[in-house]
Amino acid sequence: MTSFIRRSGLLVGLGLLSLLQGCTTPQHQSTPPAPAITLNDAGRHDLAVHALKTVTLPTLERWQAATQALTDASRQQCQRPTPDVSTLQAAFEVLYPAWYRAMLYDFGPLRDNLFFPRIHFVDSMRQRGKDYHDTIVTTFETALNGSMPLNEAYFDQLKFTQVGLPAIEVMLYEPRFVSALATQPRACQLLVGLTQHQRRLADSILTQWQSSEGNASQSNYLQQLVENQLPDGETAVGKLLFSLQDYLRYLNQRQINGHLDATLSDLTRANLLAGLNEVETLLTAGDSGAGLIDYARKAGHTELAQTLMQTLDQARQATEALDREAMRSSYYTLMKQLERPLPEAMGVNLGMNFTDGD
């Protein structure tokens, strides 16, 4: 039954994907012109700002739009006598890879709290690569068998181990909960509440990137990056380089050498490929000729740039085949290339990075 549902939802998923791609940047009708590359601090900053405006922000907007699409689909389907699970799965299969691209930007609004950052409430795997499937199932069973109101207050008090995309995946792909959506009204309430919780998170995170929320004296996060006014004193290019390192370290240590997620929905391959594509898009600034890797080329490190792109292709091929050994090798090599050679080629001293991808 599950495979039939997935096949019947394929066209719906493709339609949603093309819709989201067609309205990629609602806040940016025209792409900012690519800056000329100058080999100095100002030149590096200009390239980072270009990447933030043309790659990072559109990626976050697509993730927010996909979150909204799943929320709308959940609300609409749960008003029907029998929800069309294939439609819900199709929306989820657009959202999860969109998140894997957005997850690269694990700083600022996503990493808003030292102990319980919002990124963990979107994806609990991002904490330490741990699968909280059993915790999610127990939470669902308690909610379905209970009488407590499944309202906004209920979802806001849940722990990060009980919500997020892993929880929605269980609801939409675990057979017992798929069946419950058609027979138990509280199951639909649970699904709608989970998707609305994610929508509120995505809305808030995107708003902090784009808007100062009516406070004229407080700039939004993008503006702080553009103006080099981050509270921690870091630079925009430093943030992007660190985020690339940490993202690859997380994928390598917690996924490739740990627990691959999205197995219920069979989205493991799609998610990882989406992540690699975002790494490449950020490095090249969407092939604009004004990416971080283009700076390294102009600084005389053509061989490094070529090798890095070759490693990306190897990682992509290994992921396409889900060849775990080849993935371990290529992801590790890519991680190491991003840790020191690329920053050094760009003339950026990042110091020591003690994080382990969490």
Q: Which domains does the chain have, with CATH numbers?
A: 2-13+40-345 (1.20.1420.20)
Give the number of other CB atoms < 10 A from CB of residue 112: 14
Percent of the chain with pLDDT over 90: 81
Question: pLDDT (tens digit, 9 = 90+) per residue, 292-311?
Answer: 999 999 999 999 999 999 99
Whose structure tokens read 């927010």? 64
Looking at per-residue pLDDT, the higher value among 166 and 350 belongs to 166
Contact 283, 333 (CB under 8 A): no
pLDDT at 14: 43
55 DSSP assignment:
I
Whether the per-residue pLDDT at 320 is higher than 60: the answer is yes
Contact 126, 120 (CB under 8 A): yes
Question: pLDDT (tens digit, 9 = 90+) per residue, 276-291?
Answer: 999 999 999 999 999 9
| Average pLDDT over all residues of the chain | 90
Q: What are phi and psi of 198, to 5 degrees?
A: -65, -40
Contact 29, 216 (CB under 8 A): no
The residue count of the chain comes to: 358
What are 348's two structure tokens? 């950026």
Whose structure tokens read 């068998």? 145
Question: In 3D, which of 292, 299, 300, 294 has the Cα closest to residue 338?
Answer: 292
Question: In 3D, which of 244, 239, 262 has the Cα closest to residue 129?
Answer: 262
pLDDT at 352: 63
70 vs 199: CA distance, rounded Å: 9
The contacts of residue 300 (CB under 8 Å, 6+ apart) are none
Looking at per-residue pLDDT, the higher value among 316 and 11 belongs to 316
**What is the reported pTM?**
0.90
23 vs 27: CA distance, rounded Å: 10
Question: pLDDT (tens digit, 9 = 90+) per residue, 143-168?
Answer: 999 999 999 999 999 999 999 999 99
